[in-house]
Amino acid sequence: MPRLQAHQQPEPFFVSDQVTEARRYYLNLNPRPKAAFEVVCGGVERMKPDYLVRRHDFPFYAVELVVEGEGSLVLNGRRFRLEPGVVFAYGPGVAHTIRNSPSKSMRKYYIDFAGLHSLRMLEEAGLAQWTALRVGSIHELVSVFDSLADEARYDTPLARKLRETLFRLLFLKIQQHAIPAGRSLSRAFATYARLKTHVEEHALRLRTVDDIASECHVTAMYISRLFRRFGGTGAYQFLLRLKMNHAAQLLDTGLLVKETAARLGFADAFQFSRAFKRIHGVPPNHLLSSRRPVA
């Protein structure tokens, strides 16, 4: 059974004790040399005000995500600022210094891993140059970190498959939400993140990209460009998917198609049905028919 942190037991030599709280798990501190990759350990920690870690080496590869507070990082002589949304990596032979800001103690997630594919995965995520990246949608990465910790409680074949899937998902999420370097790009991404949050919070009320533009004080053309650039989809397509996901939930409760269409602000059931099929690939009455008991 993987071990969760027990305060009465000594931690491995590479784990810092300069924390005020921690939730840790340990899976395999002696990974197989020829394994593709293996999760060694991971968790989440809150730093003490005087937290300082200075290492010239590390036995495994590591990825860390700052979710609260501030600090500084030096990776192979390059200095970076640490703040919420910054993710970074290090590994064997990579000198690193992590320092906490005494007035704003950091809280950060981490995962340590090993294996023949580790460096390639870091390269694909843009972390193998031993740099610090900024990521948006921090909550999505946190959700993956938390799920990994949950699955670490079990030592079954299915739990191991789930951990492997979640581990790969973490790197894909880093790729998906990485903010391009550059001041102007960061500003554009911040606008995109603000727009995305607004759409997510008000999707049931919003009807068009022009509605979004009016409420967020930017042009519809700029909104469309930002969503294509950072989200990989159109702004209206993103809004429509949120609406249709909610529509599917309403239909699953037994609400009629015309009732669902009216609740979501569509002019008629036909217009709603076209939009639903465009997103889900089937008409809305398909969900209703699938709920009817077989005679």
- Residue 114: the pLDDT is 94
H/E segment holding residue 185: helix 183-202
Question: Who wins on pLDDT, 3 or 283?
Answer: 283
Is the pLDDT assigned to residue 1 strictly greater than 80? Answer: no
Q: What is the pLDDT of residues 128-166, one digit of tens each?
A: 889 899 887 788 899 999 999 999 988 899 998 999 999
Which residue ranges does the chain devote to CATH 2.60.120.280?
A: 3-179
Q: Is 87 helix (H, G, I), strand (E, B) or coil?
A: strand
Q: What is the pLDDT of residues 49-88, one digit of tens each?
A: 889 999 999 999 999 999 888 999 999 899 999 988 899 9
Q: Is 8 helix (H, G, I), strand (E, B) or coil?
A: coil
DSSP 102-123: TTB--EEEEEEEESTTHHHHHH
When pLDDT is cut at 50, 70 and 90, the band that residue 187 belongs to is confident
Q: What is the pLDDT of residues 159-170, one digit of tens each?
A: 989 999 999 999
Which alpha helices (DSSP H) does 253-268 contain, by range?
257-263
pTM for this entry? 0.67
Which residue ranges does the chain devote to CATH 1.10.10.60?
A: 183-291
In 3D space, the residue among 149, 143, 140 whose CA is nearest the CA of residue 173 turns out to be: 140
CATH H superfamily, domain 3-179: Regulatory protein AraC (2.60.120.280)
Q: What's the mean pLDDT in 177-194?
A: 74
Q: What is the pLDDT of residues 213-262, one digit of tens each?
A: 999 999 999 999 998 887 778 999 999 999 999 999 888 888 899 999 99
Q: What's the mean pLDDT in 27-53?
A: 89
State the Cα–Cα distance between residues 18 and 45, nearest whole angstrom. Answer: 9
- Residue 295: the pLDDT is 43
CATH class of 183-291: mainly alpha
- Residue 158: the pLDDT is 93
